[in-house]
Structure 1
Amino acid sequence: MALAAPRNLFLLAFLGCLGLMGGALYLEHVVGLEPCPMCIVQRVCVILFALVCLVAAIHGPARLGQRLYAGLALLFALVGAATAGRQIWLQSVPPDQLEACLPSLEFMLDALPLQEIVRLVFHGTADCAEVTWTLFGLSVPEWSLLAFIGMILFGLFQLLRRR
């Protein structure tokens, strides 16, 4: 049984990311969920993963190029999974042990150096730990982690596959 062409799989992964972003925008604009800074980092990772997959699908690389694109996509998926995992952990911490909410991401970008923004975002606060919506008993970061695991598996498959 022949495996699907790498170009087609990259395109399929890109379309899957479009679906994920559509779901995130639906939750934000229709359901009314405001994304916390960690959610925004996860969205950026999905977008970067999607862009790498789109470029790979358009380029149709040879074996070395395919592996470079897969490695870059894998990197973005790992960062997203780490962020989602951190947010899931924060949701298990009692609220009284978490810091107060962060200022808006726009304010932090204007007022703080990049190192401080990264530290604050990944340290997490009460707004990142709040569970405001679930589907089948899983919160948004848990669904996000499942999506990133799928992206990681895709990246590994593309990275390690033989022609």
Structure 2
Amino acid sequence: MLSLLNQYSRERFAWFLLFLSTAIFELTALYFQYGLGLAPCTLCIYQRCAIYGIMLGSLVGLLAPGKLIFRLIGILIWLVSAIKGFNLATFHAHLQFEPNLSDTCAINVQFPSWLPLDKWLPSMFNAYGSCSEKIWSFLTIEMSQWMIIIFAGYLLVGLVILFSQIFSSKKRSIWSN
């Protein structure tokens, strides 16, 4: 099983699926913001950036999936972003379900001076909602909880793919020509 996952990670199709999943989540976030009129908070924006980090990892893997260094860099970017996103989503859920006066989130997003996303693309990276407000749920699960599930899934799959790099794969893939 792990050698099969190693084999899949050496093909562009698997990395494209990772890219596609992150693109779908980003488009969904934009639909929630503009289609449904839900105001994103700072933690929502930071989680959006974590999804973009996973997307960046998939692009690195797409460059040269046959080379171990590209796969490992892509997987590491993927895992760091998934861990950061999971921590942000967990804190977001904490603010919603266990409100505490000492725990707050900033009103404005704070990006590094060399990457002012809120200045470059304010329509995507400006926050104007409250972190503690519960504004959307599906199947009785709040958005922050869904994000925990999503990031945990990305983290789990990323760890399995990283672990599968130890195992050799066959030269021929069902996805290659």
TM range (shorter): 0.7 to 0.9
Q: Distance in 2 between matches of 1:33 and 1:23?
A: 12
Distance in 1, Cα, partners of 2:111 & 2:18:
31
Residues 2-151 of structure 1: matches in 2 within 5 Å? Answer: 2-3=4-5, 5-6=8-9, 7-94=12-99, 97=101, 102-105=106-109, 127-151=130-154
Pick the aligned partner of 1:152 from 148, 152, 155: 155
What whole-Å deviation, never above 9, does each CA across 1:54-99 have from its counterpart, x for those lacking one? 221132242343122212210011000000001111111247x367
- Structure 2 unaligned residues grouped into runs of 5+: 113-128, 170-177
The 1:70/1:92 distance shift into structure 2, 3 A limit, reads same
Contact 1:41 1:83 in 2 (8 A): yes
Cα distance in structure 1, aligned partners of 2:73 and 2:87: 21
- Secondary structure, aligned partner of 2:107: coil
Note the C-alpha offset of 1:109.
Answer: 6.0
CA distance in 2, matches of 1:40, 1:152: 19
> Do the aligned residues in 1 keep the contact of 2:95 with 2:104 (CA within 8 Å)?
no
TM-score, with structure 1 as normaliser: 0.78
TM-score normalised by L of structure 2 = 0.72
In structure 1, runs of 5+ residues without a counterpart are: 111-125
**In structure 1, C-alpha distance between the alignment counterparts of 2:135 and 2:49, rounded to whole Å:** 21
Return the structure number with greater helix share: 1
Identity of aligned residues (%): 26
Kept in 1, the 8 Å contact 2:89–2:144? The answer is yes
The 1:142/1:68 distance shift into structure 2, 3 A limit, reads same
Contact map agreement 1:67 1:158 (CA 8 A) in 2: no
Matched position secondary structure for 1:129: coil
Task: Give the root-mean-square deviation of aligned CA atoms.
Answer: 2.4
Matches of 1:27 and 1:48 in 2, distance apart? Answer: 20
State how many pairs are aligned.
Answer: 145
